[in-house]
Structure 1
Amino acid sequence: MMKHILTGAGLASMACFMACNEGQKNAAATTPTPDAVAANVDSTIHPAQDFFDYANGGWIKRNPIPAEYSSWGIGNLVQEELYKRLRIINEKAVENPTDATSKKIAAFWKSGMDSVKINADGIKPIEATLRAIDAVTNIQQLIQLSAKEHNRTGVMCDMYIGQDAKNSEAIIVQFSQGGLGLPNRDYYFNTDDRTTKIRQAYPAHVAKMLEFTGLDSNAAKTAAASVVQLETMLAKSSRKLEALRDPEANYHKMAVTQLNKIAGSVDWTDFIKQQGISKFADTVIVGQPEFYTTLSDALKSQPLDTWKNYLKWNLISSAAGTLSDTIANTSFAFYGKLLRGQDKQKPRWKRVLDSEEGAMGEALGQLFVKEFFNATAKKRYENLVEEIRGELKTRIEHLDWMSDSTKAKALYKLSKITKKVGYPDKWKDFSAMDIKDQSYYQNVDAARQWWLNYQIAKLGKPVDRTEWDMTPQTYNAYYNPSNNEIVLPAGIFTVPGKRDEELDDAVVYGYAGASTIGHEITHGFDDEGRQFDAAGNLKSWWTKEDEKKFNDRAAVMVQQFNGYVVVDSLRINGKATLGENIADLGGILLGWEAFKKTEQYKKNEKIAGYTPAQRYFMGYSLGWLGHTKKESLARQVLTDVHSPAKFRVNGPFSDVDAFYEVYGIKPGDGMYRADSARVHIW
């Protein structure tokens, strides 16, 4: 994934999976495990017709989606391994806390697992804030309270602290659109049956949640209707998913006094200071100014009671997971079951671990890497990064559509990409995080406050380019354009049940080299990443002619993915997913060229009945092994810049000439695209 330039670090855990593999070592020594890719094949499907179903279909048929999940795949398999290990770490910390960190781990775990106390407390943890909302008598008081509660609720808008896109050496306060209870603006306006059903159910859900705050059923229904009407106003001025991918169009640096002019209902200097930010320049970055104008107008036009109920709704919704089972289950019924298709919640212990990962996952990560990611594995993937970098260098040098001047700058940027592999060299210090013997809500809140203070402390200081925004055990990776870096946590290289040394190069070059390393490097040159220079600044470094040629070639990919129907009548949004689709294709091409130089490719000896070349493409497909419920697929199409897994295999493969050669793809096959319709960028 590409780290979105509008994303700041905080408590909210990234939607990713954690992984480990070396725990299988002893069992693997005595019990052979199935081949990493051959075991997943569905031999009833021809690879030329649907490669994803061919490569992964056997596993999918044997592994239905569990009731507590909306999808099930390789990420979940490695997650399950780690869940068990993290539970042991937490339970040992409870039995025998040996240092300050283990004491915090123990306190967090005990508070989250104490369902008797959590259920007995009910709404108690947020009662003081509810009373404060009830005490508000004018809009200015409400704005001040909203500012104080913003770190808990994200009410009204999105404010965060992060690198200046046009001056990557500076940390600055930034604002973007937000304040919606549905996943994004399209849920308020789309007319397809699935989205309409969700929108129609939404007011009743808001009403149920407001009843927990003390409103009777009739008052709650009336309040919910006004809250949804207010959110719809904000949604009208919110940009679509694809529009948010244009970094230049979403960059508006201005004095706070100018923000006060376009959104004058709020004293934005005071709004910032109410969150504990006393030291900041009088300049901010606003992503979508029109949203703030609408927000300001709504603060004037909408009744005070509507805003108070809106704040109550945001408070109860954001806190639901830390409150009683009744409240948490009501929230899950809408966001988990209706929106994602989960039939039941994960057990409490897994939910607590998910929360703990967001609160202090890096502390757990220190324990993880000591046991599950050795120096040999780290070196293997560091070397692979350099091989992939070398292949992109060669491809850039031989591009027939790019001018020499742009090539020189592209090669310079490539040479400056920093690689971070496995785990950070410097760990975060959580000693000031106030985790102790208190309620689960209070511990989660203490973690939120620590993360806010952590971000505030960055203001006015040099950017720490050694920092990681993912934990080592994360089954994911990212490219950060502001640092011009790829970050590859140890977890992303895991194949469930396999030690690293058991994996042949064909699988590794497809699974890690293509779908991860090559993918992330290519992000530096996708439709968004290419707009940042070698130092991480949003700055044009292309000639106008080269920029047009790039956009023309990218338009072919937009058209290709616009044609894929995912569920019902919903199609992939080719513009919104363009960056990820470009990165997928680039990763496959780079991984393939690097793999062709290995001894395994040259010897061309079969393993488990498959040639090295076949295993390379199967290895890439392994990275997307899994299946997803329709409800979650529909949500992904509307809210995610990543295409669904199946199309991350079949889509780019149909643009790769080597794939046609290896599998003999010909006109009329399901995977075939005419050469004129194939994407040729990097």
Structure 2
Amino acid sequence: MALLFATTASAGAVHGIQSGDINRDGNPCTDFFDYANGSWRKENPIPDYMDRWSRRWQSGEVNKEHVRDILTELSARSDWPKGSAGQLAGDFYAACMDESRIDALGSKPVLPWLSEIGALQDAAGMQRMIGKLHDMGVYVPFIVYAGEDLHEPSRTVAHIYAGGLGMPDRDYYIKTEPRFVEARAKYLAHVARMFELAGTAPEQARKNADTVLAFEKRLAEASFDNVQLRDPKLSDNPTPFADLPRLVPSFDWAKYFDAAGMPHDAVNVTQPRFLQQVEKELSSTPLPQWKTYLQWHVLRNGADALSTPFVQESFAFNGKFLTGATEMKPRWKRCAEATDQQLGEALGAKYVEKYFPPEAKARMQDMVKNILLAMDDVIGELDWMDEATKKKALEKRATFFPKLGYPDKFKEYAGVTVSRDSAWDNLVAASRWNVADNRSQVGKPTDRSRWGMTPPTSNAYYNPSQNEIVFPAGILQPPAFDVNATDAVNYGAIGVVIGHEISHGFDDQGAQFDAQGRLANWWTPEDGRQFQAKGQCVVDQFESYFIEPGVHHNGKLVLGESIGDLAGAKLAYLGYLKSRKGKGPEPTIDGFTPEQQFFLAWGQWRGDETRMETQRTMIQGDPHPIAKYRVNGPLSNLPAFKEAFSCKVGDPMVRAQSDRCEVW
């Protein structure tokens, strides 16, 4: 697949949006999602191995080709110094690609783990096994992960999270709607089949599946739902280390933390009720049931590093059933993804050298500056916020910390042993290193140079505790960002993403963190009420968006992302206008004004065709709305969109003044 656009300024003239993608029979004022790139979607059906498709997702798949090319080059050499980035990434990829060797091994790599679990004799041994599984990233039944202290983000502490479920979230175990009943039946069959592949007799495998589902259901019943997970106050439970035994007396926390190399400092227990349920399981669930549960999660987590039957069975449930994809991704893509996930910074330097030139970073820096300044203007002009709260908001905005492209220093993965002999052993070794790397931060000052995504990742994020917005080089590629595109197109695509991430600092979650990244209230009571009311407008808007009869968005679940899209589009547009000061207007291209190009760029970037199975999964647990509503929802609130396309009051893409939502 070729590059969509050139990525260096020398490659050609400045261009606008993809005018051929537009559905000329559509009406931008009726359904902008259909208008912006309806023709492209019609001519480019979702590939069998994908759950959604657009130029944005196509770009992500092209990006994996870039990663593959780098890994192919690295793996072609066998003379890399042992432990070097080239050796680690190259050999990891080569072992993953050696399908015949993996298939010849069958279930052999996982059998020692299953046997060790099966031989456990007592609760102490079982707890040691939990620690051993955590060492390699199999977090059951809870998760311990390093992160900033919510009240003193300059230091890093251990957070204890709920974990240990094999389906997407708690509702799959509890709700009675037909789609959840079907999911449980499919899951039972899936778990049984995986045990059979590992050598368990069919009848016992079915019993094992019953045990797993019952065990996980009890954990699910004690877990937060997806809306509760979005409230940082609910997850804020600082706990002295000495109090952990009182919360879960049956677990030897001192031995666990010592084995993990973590100090006995205070921790944050995100869900105390969940840990109370863990205590019930530890004190009353028979050891054989625990062993079955642990064995299942070893199989579940390691399936993709095992032989083809395991991979296919994992895909049958997690791919076909949950997403609607009808075939697996090619092996090279799965191996490129796995290498990036486990050793992404080992190939990061080569990636940015080839695909993120200095002029791209300079242009991004200028865009980020303009959009941050636009946020200052928006805050200053708010008529519903008093001066005291505005001052705090502007203080927070002033401490935003952008990260663009790649870390200043790449991880060196010292001590990881990777060879071409065993994809399974490589996965275990790399996972152990990543877990240990994370644990090593507990009790130390927070290292702001660390990144939560690898350089080739086609995504972005906002971290409230560090008040940082992060854009890896992988997302700074066409069509999101192109140094040869007009400002209108860049601000309409990646610019809205920049504004979106900035807005997360002021959405329903981010607004609870102050300028220093502390979970602390900086709002006056009246301004807080106004903010809540403006958010409720967004909740109500998205509750009205259905994907099929009886199934609509959960407005509270998608509130943060929808505030991000709404404010992001506004901020990016204002940033674009700011960028043109002193330069004059950009040209009309293919009959579209710069203002129209801006909005079309967003519609084309975000215009995913999404399988219905994936939409159902997203509606249930994804805080992001379906793509159609990420396009039409925010734009229908923006006067600038109405003016750009001469839409009229009463058009579907123009919300009535009384219904129009505006948070920022």
Superposition TM-score tier, normalisation by shorter sequence: over 0.9
The corresponding residue for 1:11 is none
Q: Output the CA distance in 2 between the equivalents of 1:480 and 1:292.
A: 26
Matched, 1:227 2:212: yes
How far residue 306 of structure 1 moved from its aligned partner, in angstroms, is 1.4
Distance 1:488 1:21, change over 3 A: farther
The corresponding residue for 2:507 is 526
Q: Output the CA distance in 2 between the equivalents of 1:415 and 1:21.
A: 36
Matched, 1:566 2:551: no
How far residue 431 of structure 1 moved from its aligned partner, in angstroms, is 3.4
Of residues 20, 26, 51 in structure 2, which corresponds to 1:39?
20
Could you tell me the TM-score, scaled by structure 1's length? 0.93
Query: Does the CA-based 8 Å contact 1:152-1:315 persist in structure 2?
Result: no
The corresponding residue for 1:7 is none
Trace 1:656-675 onto structure 2 (pairs within 5 A): 656-675=638-657
Trace 1:5-154 onto structure 2 (pairs within 5 A): 36-96=17-77, 97-99=79-81, 100-150=84-134, 151-154=136-139
- Quick one: which amino acid aligns to residue 508 of structure 1? N
User: For 1:305, what is the secondary structure of its paired residue?
Assistant: helix
- Quick one: which amino acid aligns to residue 681 of structure 1? V
How far residue 604 of structure 1 moved from its aligned partner, in angstroms, is 6.2
The corresponding residue for 1:206 is 191
Matched, 1:441 2:397: no
Q: Output the CA distance in 2 between the equivalents of 1:554 and 1:372.
A: 39
User: For 1:479, what is the secondary structure of its paired residue?
Assistant: strand
Of residues 631, 635, 642 in structure 1, which corresponds to 2:624?
642
Query: Does the CA-based 8 Å contact 2:16-2:597 persist in structure 1?
Result: no
Q: Output the CA distance in 1 between the equivalents of 2:569 and 2:71.
A: 39
The corresponding residue for 1:611 is 593
How far residue 109 of structure 1 moved from its aligned partner, in angstroms, is 1.7
User: For 2:592, what is the secondary structure of its paired residue?
Assistant: coil
The corresponding residue for 1:157 is 142
Unaligned runs of 5+ in 1: 1-17
The corresponding residue for 1:337 is 320
The corresponding residue for 1:475 is 458
Of residues 471, 491, 494 in structure 1, which corresponds to 2:474?
491
How far residue 101 of structure 1 moved from its aligned partner, in angstroms, is 1.7
The corresponding residue for 2:162 is 177
Matched, 1:552 2:533: yes
- Quick one: which amino acid aligns to residue 529 of structure 1? G
Distance 1:98 1:679, change over 3 A: same
- The one-character-per-residue Cα deviations of 1:119-160 (angstroms, maximum 9, x if unpaired) are 111111122211111111223321221221123421111221
How far residue 672 of structure 1 moved from its aligned partner, in angstroms, is 2.7
Identity %: 37
Q: Output the CA distance in 1 between the equivalents of 2:481 and 2:293.
A: 51
- The one-character-per-residue Cα deviations of 1:16-69 (angstroms, maximum 9, x if unpaired) are xx998776769965xx99953312111111111111111021110011111111
Query: Does the CA-based 8 Å contact 1:523-1:579 persist in structure 2?
Result: yes
Distance 1:568 1:209, change over 3 A: farther
The corresponding residue for 2:178 is 193
Query: Does the CA-based 8 Å contact 2:481-2:490 persist in structure 1?
Result: no
Q: Output the CA distance in 1 between the equivalents of 2:159 and 2:481.
A: 43
- The one-character-per-residue Cα deviations of 1:96-134 (angstroms, maximum 9, x if unpaired) are 244422122221122111111111111111222111111
Distance 1:79 1:594, change over 3 A: closer
Could you tell me the TM-score, scaled by structure 2's length? 0.95
User: For 1:165, what is the secondary structure of its paired residue?
Assistant: coil
Alignment RMSD: 2.2
- The one-character-per-residue Cα deviations of 1:463-500 (angstroms, maximum 9, x if unpaired) are 1112221222222111111111111122223225x983
Q: Output the CA distance in 2 between the equivalents of 1:624 and 1:676.
A: 27
How far residue 374 of structure 1 moved from its aligned partner, in angstroms, is 1.6
Q: Output the CA distance in 2 between the equivalents of 1:592 and 1:79.
A: 25
Number of equivalent positions: 659
- The one-character-per-residue Cα deviations of 1:422-474 (angstroms, maximum 9, x if unpaired) are 22222211232221233101101111111112112212322111222122222
Matched, 1:268 2:249: no
Query: Does the CA-based 8 Å contact 1:101-1:431 persist in structure 2?
Result: no
Q: Output the CA distance in 2 between the equivalents of 1:136 and 1:53.
A: 58
Trace 1:259-338 onto structure 2 (pairs within 5 A): 259-274=244-259, 276-277=260-261, 279-338=262-321
- Quick one: which amino acid aligns to residue 411 of structure 1? L
Unaligned runs of 5+ in 2: none
- Quick one: which amino acid aligns to residue 556 of structure 1? C
How far residue 570 of structure 1 moved from its aligned partner, in angstroms, is 1.9
Query: Does the CA-based 8 Å contact 2:157-2:265 persist in structure 1?
Result: no
The corresponding residue for 1:4 is none
Identify the range of structure 1 (149-158 vs 231-240) with the bigger mean alpha-carbon deviation: 149-158
- Quick one: which amino acid aligns to residue 629 of structure 1? R
Query: Does the CA-based 8 Å contact 2:8-2:483 persist in structure 1?
Result: no
Identify the range of structure 1 (92-101 vs 357-366) with the bigger mean alpha-carbon deviation: 92-101
Of residues 180, 198, 221 in structure 2, which corresponds to 1:236?
221
- Quick one: which amino acid aligns to residue 178 of structure 1? G
The corresponding residue for 1:5 is none
